[in-house]
Amino acid sequence: MFGNGNLIVEKFLPGMDGDDYLVRYCYFFGDRDMNIILKSKRKIVNEATAFHIGEAPAQPELHSIRRRLGFDCGKFDYVLRDGRVMLLDVNRTPTLGTSRLIEKKAARWLAGGIWPLLERRAQK
């Protein structure tokens, strides 16, 4: 792998809570965001391997990352390492797939984020 110029090898730096592996998703639209946490006993954390999916506290650092990258809408996959956000994936066209209950709640909450975007654009 290390000799193959077509591959990128990254150090495995998982989010952890005791013995559990964690990944966090931040969905955002306009001035709204919703943070989801997935917990798994496996190193690869996704909806299929998670034993817990729920809301997580927002990380203030994500707001400055959004502004710096110019994102009004999207999803960040990230972990916390030593209290800092480490982005794993940045997506401008997110889908909700974590759970039906969270999907509906997130869609309703995030939809309200369109109004500040429309007002800001109307002022230009």
CATH code, domain carrying 72: 3.30.470.20
User: Does 10 have pLDDT greater than 90?
Assistant: no
**Interval 59-116: pLDDT, tens:** 999 999 999 999 988 899 999 998 899 999 999 887 766 666 677 777 788 888 888 7
Residue 5 lies in a domain: no
- pLDDT score recorded for residue 37: 93
**8 in any annotated domain:** no
Q: How far is CA 80 from CA 24, 68, 124, in A?
A: 8, 19, 37
Q: Is residue 121 part of a domain?
A: no
Which pLDDT belongs to residue 99?
65
Q: Report the relative pairing of strands 50-55 and 73-81 from DSSP bridges.
A: unpaired
- In a domain, residue 119? The reply is no
In a domain, 2, yes or no: no
Domains held by the chain: number: 1
Predicted confidence at residue 118, as pLDDT, reads 80
Averaged pLDDT score across all residues of the chain: 87
What is the rounded CA–CA span in Å between residue 118 and residue 75?
20
**Within-domain flag for 87:** yes
DSSP bridge partners of 16:
21
In this prediction the pTM is 0.80
Residue 3 domain-assigned (yes or no)? no
* Structural domain boundaries enclosing 75: 15-113
Does 124 have pLDDT greater than 70? yes
